[in-house]
Structure 1
Amino acid sequence: MAKPAIGRTQLTRRGVLVATAGTLLTAACGSDETNSPGPTTRGSEELIIGASLELTGPGAAHGVLQERALRITVDTLNEEGVPVGNLRRKIKMIYRDNGSRPETAEQQATELIQKEGVHAMLGGVLAETSLAMLTVAQTEQVPFISLGSADNIVTPLTARTYIYKLQPNAKDVVEMMSDLLLARKHNTVGVIYSGGEYGKTGVGALRSKLRSIIKVESELPNTGSNFSSAAEKIVEKNPEAVIIWAQAPDSGAALAALRGASYGGQIIFDPGGVADDTLADKDKQAQASGALAVHPASLAGTSLTDTTMADLDRRDFIYRYIQKHGAFRGFAPYSSDAVRLLANAARLGRSVDRGRIRVYLENLTAEGIAGSYEFTPIAHGGMAADSLAVFEVTSGAWIRIS
Structure 2
Amino acid sequence: MSPFRSVTTAALALAVLATTLTGCQLGEEPQDTSPIVIGVDLELSGPQAATGKAYQRALELKRDQLNASGALGGRKVELKVRDNRSDAAESQRNIGDFGNDASVTAVIMGGCNECAVNAVRTIDEKKVPTIALAASGAITSASAAQRSYVFKLAPNATDSADALTAELTRRGVKEAALLHSDDDYGREGVTTLRAEFTKARIKMTAVQAVKSTDTDVTAPVEALVEEEPDALVFWTPSEQAMLATTAAQKAKFKGAVFLDAAAAGELFLGASARSAEQATLVFTQTMVIDDVIATTPAKAARRQWFRDYTARFGGYNGFSSFAADAVQLIADAELRAGGEPGQVDRDGLRDVLETSQMDGLSGPIRMTPDNHSGLMPQALTTLVAQGGRWRLAG
TM-score (normalised: structure 2)? 0.85
Partner AA of 1:360 in structure 2: V
Give how far 1:302 is off. 3.9
Find the counterpart in structure 1 of residue 26 from structure 2: none
Give how far 1:355 is off. 0.3
Find the counterpart in structure 1 of residue 84 from structure 2: 98
Give how far 1:180 is off. 0.6
Report the Cα distance in structure 2 between the residues aligned to 1:303 and 1:290, rounded to whole angstroms: 17
Q: What is the 5 A alignment of 1:291-330?
A: 291-302=279-290, 305-330=293-318
Give how far 1:113 is off. 2.1
- Kept in 1: contact 2:266–2:315 (CA 8 A): no
Q: Tell me whether 1:62 sits opposite 2:51 in the alignment.
A: yes
Report the Cα distance in structure 2 between the residues aligned to 1:200 and 1:392, rounded to whole angstroms: 25
**Unpaired segments ≥5 residues, structure 1:** 1-39
| Cα deviation code 1:113-147 (max 9, x no counterpart) | 21363110011311012123333211111100000
Aligned length: 358
Q: What is the 5 A alignment of 1:113-262?
A: 113-115=99-101, 117-157=103-143, 158-211=145-198, 212=201, 213-262=203-252
* Local SS of the residue matching 2:75: strand
Report the Cα distance in structure 1 between the residues aligned to 2:182 and 2:30, rounded to whole angstroms: 44
Q: Tell me whether 1:75 sits opposite 2:64 in the alignment.
A: yes
Report the Cα distance in structure 2 between the residues aligned to 1:58 and 1:217, rounded to whole angstroms: 23
Report the Cα distance in structure 1 between the residues aligned to 2:71 and 2:120, rounded to whole angstroms: 25
- Kept in 2: contact 1:248–1:277 (CA 8 A): no
| RMSD (CA atoms) | 2.2
Find the counterpart in structure 1 of residue 322 from structure 2: 334
Report the Cα distance in structure 2 between the residues aligned to 1:108 and 1:313, rounded to whole angstroms: 33
Give how far 1:232 is off. 2.2
Report the Cα distance in structure 1 between the residues aligned to 2:327 and 2:34, rounded to whole angstroms: 17
Give how far 1:176 is off. 1.0
Find the counterpart in structure 1 of residue 12 from structure 2: none
Partner AA of 1:115 in structure 2: D
Give how far 1:260 is off. 2.4
Report the Cα distance in structure 2 between the residues aligned to 1:92 and 1:221, rounded to whole angstroms: 35
- Kept in 1: contact 2:176–2:232 (CA 8 A): yes
* Local SS of the residue matching 2:301: helix
Report the Cα distance in structure 2 between the residues aligned to 1:344 and 1:375, rounded to whole angstroms: 13
- Kept in 2: contact 1:100–1:126 (CA 8 A): yes
- Kept in 2: contact 1:349–1:357 (CA 8 A): yes
- Kept in 2: contact 1:296–1:332 (CA 8 A): no
- Kept in 2: contact 1:249–1:278 (CA 8 A): no
Distance 1:43 1:316, change over 3 A: closer
Give how far 1:80 is off. 4.0
| Cα deviation code 1:148-196 (max 9, x no counterpart) | 0111000203310111101111111111111111111001111111101
| Cα deviation code 1:26-56 (max 9, x no counterpart) | xxxxxxxxxxxxxx99997111110111122
Report the Cα distance in structure 1 between the residues aligned to 2:175 and 2:324, rounded to whole angstroms: 38
Distance 1:41 1:48, change over 3 A: farther
* Local SS of the residue matching 1:243: strand
Find the counterpart in structure 2 of residue 52 from structure 1: 41
Report the Cα distance in structure 2 between the residues aligned to 1:277 and 1:253, rounded to whole angstroms: 16
Q: What is the 5 A alignment of 1:346-361?
A: 346-351=334-339, 352-361=344-353
Report the Cα distance in structure 2 between the residues aligned to 1:198 and 1:244, rounded to whole angstroms: 13
Give how far 1:277 is off. 9.3
- Kept in 2: contact 1:279–1:285 (CA 8 A): yes
Find the counterpart in structure 2 of residue 267 from structure 1: 257
Distance 1:190 1:382, change over 3 A: farther
Report the Cα distance in structure 1 between the residues aligned to 2:216 and 2:251, rounded to whole angstroms: 13
Structure number with bigger Rg: 2
Distance 1:222 1:274, change over 3 A: closer
**Unpaired segments ≥5 residues, structure 2:** 1-28
Give how far 1:397 is off. 0.8
* Local SS of the residue matching 1:176: helix
Give how far 1:390 is off. 0.4
Give how far 1:319 is off. 2.7
TM-score (normalised: structure 1)? 0.84
Report the Cα distance in structure 1 between the residues aligned to 2:100 and 2:326, rounded to whole angstroms: 21
2:363 to 357, 368, 371: 371
Report the Cα distance in structure 1 between the residues aligned to 2:30 and 2:103, rounded to whole angstroms: 14
